[in-house]
Amino acid sequence: MDSIIEVQELKREYVTRHGFWKREKRVVKAVDGISFAVRRGEIFGLLGQNGAGKTTTIKMLTTLLAPTGGTCKVLGWSTFGEEKRIRARINFIFGGEMGVYRRLSARDNLRYFSNLYLIPRKEQDVRIQKILGLVELAERADDLVETYSKGMIQRLQIARGLINDPEILFMDEPTVGLDPVGARMLRDIIRRLKEDGKTVLLTTHNLAEVEELCDRLVVINKGKLIASGTPAEIKADSETLEDAYVKLIEGVSA
Ligand SMILES: Nc1ncnc2c1ncn2[C@@H]1O[C@H](COP(=O)(O)OP(=O)(O)OP(=O)(O)O)[C@@H](O)[C@H]1O
Ligand SMILES: [Mg+2]
């Protein structure tokens, strides 16, 4: 199988109610018929403006949200209906969200999450030590998370996402709010995941990061796909990927 993720005509609508009696119904087409495929071992970027539909797409790919149209298959299984086949083999990290216990150490957090995945005790310690090394937290592993910097917490979240040794890791804005050094460390970690054979799907608003990391990407705008390809293909004749991206977005809003 060469596509590890296959998205076809995927749609998700949200219905919200407004007005005094909540009688006025509004339908938001958050994802409006997008198709793309991700190959095993790729770092794949999902780009788009605020509200474009990226998080909604990731939620459907990670089996957390049902599509209202189209299909998405992960590891050959449908994310809706066959989600049990998928869950043990993927993981996700939503940037900004805590998702870790501040009053525990990094190691104890990881022990807790490995228990949830029913990883045998003997295997846990080895796996946790390896992951702590990968995210460069080994030295502080036994300090309480409440003493960590934002960058360290974000790296711990990645560690948490690796605890079940997933084949695919989904990351929603993994470097948001990090300083340049911290963001670079995180990009190095993402590259190491690729070297380890993992597939990574990520969102980011940092175009330089996309250029540095992503093998291929798609750009979505108001729920629709407006571009796809390698960073070099998207960049085409523009000076930078950011220039090309801005032109793309301005082109569709004109
Ligand atoms: N639970 C919800 N109920 C109603 N509307 C929603 C809900 N979640 C998202 N939306 C709407 O769906 C659209 C897509 O939102 P989504 O969070 O997927 O965008 P995004 O691309 O992740 O944006 P950002 O870059 O700001 O994170 C937006 O118009 C948003 O307001
Ligand atoms: Mg989002």
Each residue's pLDDT tens digit, 27-55: 999 999 999 999 999 999 999 999 999 99
Residue-level pLDDT at 19: 87
For the record, the structure tokens of 3 come out as: 């596509």
Least confident of 1-5, 160-164, 247-251: 1-5
Residue-level pLDDT at 96: 61
pLDDT band at 253 (very low <50, low <70, confident <90, very high): confident
- Pick the closest to residue 229 from 237, 219, 239 (CA basis): 219
Q: Whose CA is nearest to atom 4 of ligand 1?
A: 14
Residues in the chain: 254
Residue-level pLDDT at 1: 54
Residue with tokens 């990670």: 62
Q: pLDDT averaged over the chain?
A: 93
Ligand 2 centroid–CA 121 distance in Å is 36
Q: In the chain, where does DSSP find H-type helix?
A: 54-61, 83-87, 106-116, 121-134, 150-162, 180-195, 207-213, 231-235, 241-253
| Distance separating alpha carbons of residues 4 and 109, to the nearest angstrom | 29
Ligand 1 mutation pick, 32, 54, 58, 220, max ligand atoms within 8 A of CB? 54
* 3-class secondary structure, 178: coil
Amino acid at 167: E
Ligand 1 centroid–CA 124 distance in Å is 36
Q: Whose CA is nearest to atom 27 of ligand 1?
A: 50
